[in-house]
Amino acid sequence: MRFSTAVLFAVALSLQACSGLRPVETETETPGGEPTAYPAYESFDPAGYDARPQAAPSEIVHDVPPGVMQGRVEVPDGSGPAPPPAPAPSEPQRVQVDGFRVQVFTSSSRDAAERVRTEAVGWWEQARPGGARTPEAVVAYRQPYYRVQLGAFASREEADAALAVVRRQYPEAFIVPDLVTVMR
C-alpha cells in the first residue's frame, strides 16, 4: 500500500510540474502595429531582424542546349548518311566481369596456402585435361582465412566443367563467385 501511494504521489507531482503557472501566450505588437502571439517565457524578439527572403536570381545560367531546354530534340530519321559501324576489336581485350573460381583450400596460414597453390599448379601441369592451359591460381585473403582458388571463369558452365576435373585431386573443392579478368 505504501509503495502505490508513493508512485501515485510521484505521478501527480510530474503532471503538476508540466502544467506551468503563467499564461501560455501573450499578445504584443510589432513595430508595424501588428499583434504577435508568442509564449510568455520566450525571450527572443524577432522584430529587430530583417526577415525578408533574398531576391531570386534574375537569370539562370546553365550549359544545356536550348533545344533540350524547350523540350525539342532532333532525332535522325534515317534519311541521311548512316554513321560508320564501330570497328571490330582486332585483338581480344582483358575485361573484368562477375565470374567464378574453384576454391581448393582454406587456411589461416599464408605459408600453407602458398604451398597448396604451388602443388595445385604442378598437379594441373601434369594432368592437363584436354590440353587445357594452366589456370590462374591465386591466394585470396578474406579475413580470417587465406583461400587457394583456381581459374577465372566468366560463366557457371565453365566453372562446373573445371570443378569436375579439380575434384579428382581436391574432392572438397567448390565454386565461389568472384570478380575475374577474362579475355573477350
Q: Measured between alpha carbons, how far is 91 from 104 in angstroms, rounded to an integer?
A: 32
Residue 16 pLDDT greater than 80, yes or no = no
Residue type, 54: Q
Q: Are strands 174-183 and 94-107 parallel, antiparallel or unpaired?
A: antiparallel
Of residues 122, 179, 102, 116, the one with CA closest to residue 146: 116
Q: Measured between alpha carbons, how far is 19 from 152 in angstroms, rounded to an integer?
A: 73
The mean predicted confidence, pLDDT, of the chain is 79
pLDDT (0 to 100) of residue 60: 72
Share of the chain above pLDDT 70, in %: 69
Of residues 82, 142, 88, the one with CA closest to residue 110: 142
pLDDT in tens, 93-137: 888 999 999 999 999 999 999 999 999 999 888 877 666 677 889
What's the predicted TM-score (pTM) here?
A: 0.50
Give Cα separations from 127 to 100, 132, 135 (angstroms). Answer: 21, 9, 12
The separation between CA 179 and the C-alpha centre of its own chain, rounded to angstroms, equals: 16
> 130: which DSSP letter?
G
The pLDDT of 14-23, averaged and rounded, is: 62
pLDDT in tens, 29-82: 556 666 666 666 667 776 777 777 777 777 777 777 776 777 766 666 666 666
The pLDDT of 21-27, averaged and rounded, is: 54
Residue 164 pLDDT greater than 70, yes or no = yes
pLDDT (0 to 100) of residue 148: 96
pLDDT (0 to 100) of residue 63: 77
Cis preceding-peptide flag for 144 (omega within 30 of 0): yes
Confidence of residue 141 (pLDDT cuts 50, 70, 90): very high
Residue 18 pLDDT greater than 70, yes or no = no
pLDDT (0 to 100) of residue 13: 72
pLDDT in tens, 82-95: 666 766 667 888 88
